[in-house]
Amino acid sequence: MPEQDPGILAQDVRRRFGAVEAVRGMSLTVPRGEVTALVGPNGAGKTTLLLMLATLLAPDSGHLRVAGLDPATDADAVRARIGWMPDVFGVYDQLTAREYIGFFAEAYRIPAGTARERVAELLELVHLAEFAEQPVHVLSRGQKQRLGLARALVHRPEVLLLDEPASGLDPRSRVELRDLLRAQAREGTAVLVSSHILTELEEVADRVVFVDRGTTVSEHAIGELGTHRRTWRVRALEGDLPAALDRRGVEHGEPTPSGVDVLLESEQAAADLLRDLIADQVRVVSFAPAGNHLESAYLAFTEERR
């Protein structure tokens, strides 16, 4: 398969459950060697799309390819090429962590000698080596999440599908997850990750696909997200900040202990406003974006659909 082919290609994919059309026209591209974030609210169709990519649901219509293959008609071949980590996955509680990963290595028909090395490597990679001989049921939720990630990586997949992988992870583990996904992308893996934790997604993703109500809203490179209106938070020690904002026609919220939120068109507009507030004798002590680019961009791109 040509190297330039995307890891995932979806065009006008639809899936209905009775009267509910969960996915109604989603399109996206997930290039090899990049991390693509799938962002949308609960009920947007993210998990349904991932289930179709993982061969667990068939689309009603549309064009879907994973590693160049149709998951509806070439399910076995697709499963051999993907690593799939669902939001909720079952574990075999009485197996040890080492046995658990070894079981899936055997399922993928990895030779025994190679499998032992791969299992040890993965336990180190997800920082579970010290729990290798412990039964799975003693692991915390976050540790089970990391075990699930190791399971998804056991056969060195071409495409990695992750549904809420940071759920249950502590801050350090989230940083480690970010580094691991970046490393997978550098090795040429096409990574698609769905999550509500937008701060972590912004730090790990090369691209983002916004979805809402079963459809694709837009696709962007992360670097393109700075060209939209976003909220900034201003806090001042002295001076009538709301009055100064009103005089300059700046849209703002009500004052709170953490400051006043203002809606600005660009970073240049933010710099100009800060200059003007200082000229108005408002003693500004903090002036920074509220939230992150990914969150602000998502709100901006979906605002007209509400």
The pLDDT of residue 171 is 83
Q: What angle do CA 250, 251, 255 make, to 5 degrees?
A: 100
Residue 177 has pLDDT above 90, yes or no: no
pLDDT, tens only, 180-220: 999 999 999 999 999 877 776 777 899 999 999 999 988 88
Going by pLDDT thresholds of 50, 70 and 90, the confidence category of residue 305 is low
The pLDDT of residue 92 is 86
The pLDDT of residue 202 is 75
Higher pLDDT, 59 or 299: 59
The pLDDT of residue 301 is 64
Secondary structure (H, E, C), 191-208:
EEEECCCHHHHHHHCCEE
At a CB cut-off of 8 Å and minimum separation 6, what does 182 contact? 35, 204
The pLDDT of residue 41 is 85
CA-nearest of 245, 276, 247 to 261 is 245
CB atoms within 10 A of CB 198: 20
Least confident of 99-103, 158-162, 199-203: 199-203
Average pLDDT over residues 26-44: 93
Q: How far apart are CA 252 and CA 282, in angstroms?
A: 16
Residue 236 has pLDDT above 60, yes or no: yes
Residue 291 has pLDDT above 90, yes or no: no
Mean pLDDT of the chain: 89
Whether the CB-CB separation of 190 and 30 falls below 8 Å is answered with yes
Going by pLDDT thresholds of 50, 70 and 90, the confidence category of residue 168 is confident
| 127 dihedral zone (left: phi>0; alpha: psi -120 to 50; beta) | left
CB atoms within 10 A of CB 108: 14
Whether the CB-CB separation of 154 and 101 falls below 8 Å is answered with yes
Q: Which two tokens stand for residue 274?
A: 């800060």
Residue 1 has pLDDT above 60, yes or no: no
Structural domains of the chain ordered from first start = 8-223 (3.40.50.300), 230-305 (3.30.70)
Q: How far apart are CA 145 and CA 86, in angstroms?
A: 10
The pLDDT of residue 87 is 86
